Amino acid sequence: MIVTRKSKSDIRNAGPADINVSFLKELDQKGNGPAGLFPLVFAMNPSMMAVTTADGQYLEVNRAFCEATGYTRDELLGKNSLELGEWKEEQRREILDQLSRDGKIRNKEIYWRNKSREVHCCLLSAEVFELDGERLVLNTLQDITKRKRMEDELRKSKDSLALQAEKLEALNTALKVLLDQQEQNQRLTSARLKSNMQELITPYLERLKDGQMAPMDRVSLSVLESNLM
């Protein structure tokens, strides 16, 4: 979108009322939308909106922008994000370079500090346009701090569950090894007991078989021998 006006210095030197009426009204009149719509959308939009110079100096901001940053409109106009300490220089330079190269940004995740120095995460969309031959930028930001916090908590919860599952699997493996070893020990113990019993009892059984025995006694002896096998 290309718009013209008498002098861009009028914007920087104008009072709040002049910027609200003159600047936004002229953008609205030179745009393609219905007359009077842009100032209304700009002012009432729940998303943070700001018009800046190409180097990031604030020319106009909406109420949502002021509420989110904690700055008044007068504190913001004429300043840039670096002067206010909102963004780190590396991030600010990356954004300015992308706007210079592509002329627009769509849903770029950025981090900035408000007046209370609290860190917020936002999705930035921006579009370059010209006013009186100078490049300006219309910025829209959506605060996703709460969503990012929930995503982080969910990720931590998943990591914790995965760790618990890993520990449980290790515990189950250890229990299986222990039970298998106990079963093996029981088999070995049973085999040793049987062997000991055979060694102790077999000689006596052999002596009994050599002597005279009643038929019923021989049956009992046979049963005893079978249990020792």
pLDDT tens digit string along 36-74?
567 778 888 899 999 999 988 999 999 999 999 999 999
**Paired tokens of 168:** 């449980």
Residue-wise DSSP of 179-229:
HHHHHHHHHHHHHHHHHHHHHHHHHHHHHHHHS---HHHHHHHHHHHHHH-
pLDDT at 224: 62
Q: Give the domain-ending residue among 143, 175, 209.
A: 143
Q: Give pLDDT tens digits for 153-210.
A: 888 888 888 888 887 787 677 677 777 777 777 777 776 776 766 666 666 666 666 6
CATH number of residue 94's parent domain: 3.30.450.20
Q: Are residues 13 and 56 in the same domain?
A: yes
DSSP state of 143: E
| Domain boundary residue, one of 116, 143, 170 | 143
- Find the mean pLDDT for residues 129-152: 89
Same domain flag for 127 and 154 = no
For residues 170 and 95, state if they share a domain.
no
Q: Note whether 180 and 80 are same-domain residues.
A: no
Tally of domains in the chain = 2
Does 128 share its domain with 190?
no
What Rg, from alpha-carbon coordinates, does the chain have? 43
Are residue 23 and residue 58 in the same domain, yes or no? yes
Last residue of a domain, one of 143, 175, 210: 143
User: Are 35 and 129 contained in the same domain?
Assistant: yes
> Which is more confidently placed, 29 or 180?
180
State how far the Cα of 84 lies from the Cα of 61, in Å rounded to an integer: 14
**Are 127 and 194 in a shared domain?**
no
Q: Which of 31-45, 110-124, 199-213 has the highest mean pLDDT?
A: 110-124
Quick one: pLDDT at residue 11? 38
Q: Given this model, what pLDDT does residue 227 score?
A: 63
pLDDT, average across residues 2-25: 41
Regarding whether 173 and 81 lie in a shared domain, the answer is no
Together in a domain, 90 and 18: yes
Average pLDDT over residues 87-108: 91
DSSP 8-class letter at 72: -
Task: Look up the domain containing 210 and give its range.
Answer: 150-228
Residue 120's pLDDT is 92
Same domain for 97 and 34: yes
Strands in the chain per DSSP E:
2-3, 48-53, 58-61, 104-113, 119-131, 134-143
Shared-domain flag, residues 184 and 128: no
Q: What is the dihedral of CA 102, 106, 107, 112, to 10 degrees?
A: 50
